[in-house]
Structure 1
């Protein structure tokens, strides 16, 4: 299973289309973790599972969180602001455990990162518009090759992999 994850695009649309086009035949699922600032019926969002971000106030057609089930895995998606992810991941982790999530995808901080906790892999793809912590505008692809191995790869907007951020997890 391969999942493309973007977040915090803050009004960008052509860039979302380009990322989709680049990976559409390589991934099983596309997720946007909020703050797209685009209408729910925008044509470039149709391929994505979307959630509500704190800046999506004019577009309240998205859920605050969603659970996507794909190939026997549970993907918990939220923006992160309702769980105070800039302060701690504890509330987010508790909610993900309630869902029995295998993966947790979130945004809000604009910081590209991934980590494993209690058998769940957490991924913040960063931002394709306003990155923090590094200069590259980022998104991620998460691949579960088998039950025990997960690769999280980060990419610059142009598709170049950022190998220093990419990680392999063995569960």
Structure 2
């Protein structure tokens, strides 16, 4: 299964629609980590499971959520409530409480993916105002069995090879 992950689009509309159209037949989920600055009911945000960022004023967005992606619990948040510009510790504690295997967040606009302990942290960067890179970025996350593959794309759809990340997830099967 694959998920498109985007964050910090800060009012962009055409770019969101272009990226959605580019990958609509390739992904099973579309996740937005906040700061879209668009109403939850807008056509640009349709198809996205989205959370509220510090620049979002539509109260219909939740602060965070957990989605199930091919056996992995994916915790989605913007990051401002967890002080992610300073440390990932608070977010890590919250992810552990939520039973997350993967955490998707934004806020810092810094693209990156890293396995910390047993949790894969993904920040797709920003398609509006990237920091620490010139490329405006988003991510496709693929989870097959327990293998996670994170591929970063520039906003024009070109793979950014040096940011590719793979990780083995420690998935726990639910007892029914």
Same fold (TM over 0.5): yes
| Aligned residue-pair number | 169
Q: Decide which of 163, 166, 169 is 1:168's aligned counterpart.
A: 166
Distance 1:18 1:107, change over 3 A: same
The question of whether the paired residues in 1 share the 8 Å contact of 2:70 and 2:143 is answered with no
RMSD of the TM alignment (CA)? 1.0
Q: Secondary structure at the match of 1:60?
A: coil
TM-score, normalised by the number of residues in structure 1: 0.96
1:24 is aligned to 24
1:125 Cα deviation from its structure 2 partner: 0.2
* Alignment correspondent of 2:133: 134
Matched, 1:81 2:80: yes
- How many angstroms apart in 2 are the aligned matches of 1:112 and 1:70? 21
1:70 CA drift (Å) = 2.8
State yes or no: 1:157 paired with 2:117. Answer: no
Q: CA deviation at 1:60?
A: 2.1
Q: Report 1:82-97 matches (<5 A).
A: 82-97=81-96
SS of corresponding position for 1:52: coil
What TM-score, normalized to structure 2? 0.93
SS of 2:158's partner is coil
Aligned residue for 1:3, secondary structure, equals: strand
Structure 1 regions of 5+ residues with no counterpart? none
Question: 1: distance between equivalents of 2:51 and 2:77?
Answer: 6
Correspondence list, 1:1-171, <5 A: 1-57=1-57, 59-147=58-146, 149-171=147-169
Q: Which runs of 5+ in 2 are unaligned?
A: 170-176
C-alpha deviation, 1:61, in angstroms: 1.7
